[in-house]
Amino acid sequence: MSRIDANSVNPPKTAPPEAPQGGREPLPVSPVQPVMLSLEERFRFRCHKGIPCFNKCCENTDILLTPYDVVRLKKRLDLSSRELIDRYTRDCELDAHGTPGLKLGHKEGSRACVFLGADGCSVYEERPAACRYYALGMMSMRRKGSSADEDSYFVVKEDHCLGHLEPHEQTVGEYRREQGLEPYDEANREWRRIILKKRSTGPAVGRPSQRSFELFFLASYDIDGFRAFVASEGFQQVFDLEPSYYMTLLSDEEELLRFAFRYQRQVLYGENTIPLKKGSVAERAQRYKEKLAERAAQSDEERAKRQDDLYDSLLDP
């Protein structure tokens, strides 16, 4: 069975404790209860402002961001995707190959969430999916021979959290609806499948190229950069999109994000769902060959000029 590691999809909000200095490191204690829940199963939890531990989970965070998180946050803060990334996130790696990802940033000198204010979360209405899920986690799995992903849920219990003692029960489905998770999960489903497919291929395919990393990051997190790419002359020369749909991509970020995932699956995995213009690939290949020949000729001229300059210097008295 292939799966996306639960901690890479909706991890516990708080970071693991620092390793002790000196001596052997103790075995880690996982906050994840190893019982998988369905949408209909019930669990006990409630968080509210009156609870003594309110905001404790936000003071020591390790929150992986999804592409849809970035789209929602940039809209809320009226920033470009690059501005949001530069100001409020930190880089991470999603796997052993070094696939680039983003985590929510920390306040300077601490591990507190960069958006934690005196009254709680300053972007609460647009908080990331991992924050909405807490104290649940979600894991996507694909059974061998199946083309469909299966979602499972589990409870995350951390020592500081008193919400598990509250006399309030709900089903997983009720909690997801209450937390506004359905649009987040729907928007990120294809992205999770891309990661799942990448991991299921295993290490035999070798480390991905730097170019593929750049493409993955652009089409996952830098939605404004990806829009500029879609608006470019080169893109229009290759892809054959219906004009009204093309204009929608340039104006609707959520639709553009869905298209970005299609584009990744086509370019990275050969799943051809975006039509190409006739002859466009051959024309681009020919132009690429011409550019390579031009560069090679320029390099020969530069080498010849350097050699001539050397001869002239040797002949000078």
Q: What is the predicted pLDDT for the residue at 172?
A: 97
Structural domain contains residue 289: no
Closest C-alpha to 94, from 183, 221, 187: 221
Q: What is the predicted pLDDT for the residue at 269?
A: 86
Kindly indicate the confidence band of residue 187, based on its pLDDT and cuts at 50, 70 and 90.
very high
Q: What is the mean pLDDT of residues 59-73?
A: 97
- DSSP 8-state code for residue 151: E
Q: What is the predicted pLDDT for the residue at 257?
A: 98
Total domains in the fold of the chain: 1
Specify the pairing of strand 150-155 against strand 120-121: unpaired
Structural domain contains residue 58: yes
More reliable by pLDDT, 132 or 98: 132
Cβ atoms of 125 and 76 closer than 8 Å: yes
Peptide bond connecting 135 to the previous residue in cis, omega within 30 degrees of 0: yes
Structural domain contains residue 175: yes
In the predicted structure, residue 184 carries a pLDDT above the cut 80: yes
Kindly indicate the confidence band of residue 196, based on its pLDDT and cuts at 50, 70 and 90.
confident
For a pLDDT cut of 90, what percent of the chain falls above it?
59
Kindly indicate the confidence band of residue 95, based on its pLDDT and cuts at 50, 70 and 90.
confident
Structural domain contains residue 217: no
Q: Which residues pair with 113 in a beta bridge?
A: 106
- Say what the alpha-carbon torsion angle 205, 207, 212, 216 is, to the nearest 10 degrees: 100
Q: What is the predicted pLDDT for the residue at 144?
A: 72
Structural domain contains residue 234: no
Q: What is the rounded distance in angstroms from the CA atom of residue 43 to the CA atom of residue 23?
A: 39
**How far is C-alpha 287 from the geometric centre of its chain's CA atoms?**
33
Cβ atoms of 246 and 277 closer than 8 Å: no
User: Which residues lie closer than 8 Å to 93 by C-beta, 6 or more apart?
Assistant: 99, 100, 101
Q: What is the predicted pLDDT for the residue at 316?
A: 47
Q: What is the rounded distance in angstroms from the CA atom of residue 235 to the CA atom of residue 24?
A: 55
12-16, 153-157, 255-259: range with lowest mean pLDDT? 12-16
Q: What is the predicted pLDDT for the residue at 294?
A: 66
Q: What is the predicted pLDDT for the residue at 21?
A: 42
Structural domain contains residue 119: yes
In the predicted structure, residue 106 carries a pLDDT above the cut 50: yes
Structural domain contains residue 177: yes
Q: What is the rounded distance in angstroms from the CA atom of residue 42 to the CA atom of residue 173?
A: 9
Q: What is the predicted pLDDT for the residue at 25?
A: 41
Phi, psi of 41 (to 5 degrees): -80, 155
Q: Quick one: three-class SS letters along 99-119?
A: CEEEEECECCCCCCECCEECC
Residue-number span of the structural domain to which 150 is assigned: 2-18+28-200
Residue holding tokens 């996306």?
A: 4
DSSP for 5-35 reads: -HHHHS--SBPPPPPPSSSPPPPPPP-B-S-
67-71, 132-136, 241-245, 283-287: range with lowest mean pLDDT? 283-287
Structural domain contains residue 279: no
In the predicted structure, residue 244 carries a pLDDT above the cut 90: yes
Q: What is the predicted pLDDT for the residue at 153?
A: 94
Cα dist. 298→285, 301, 302, 307, 310 in Å?
A: 20, 5, 6, 14, 18
In the predicted structure, residue 6 carries a pLDDT above the cut 50: no
pLDDT in tens, 208-227: 788 889 999 999 999 999 99
Kindly indicate the confidence band of residue 306, based on its pLDDT and cuts at 50, 70 and 90.
low
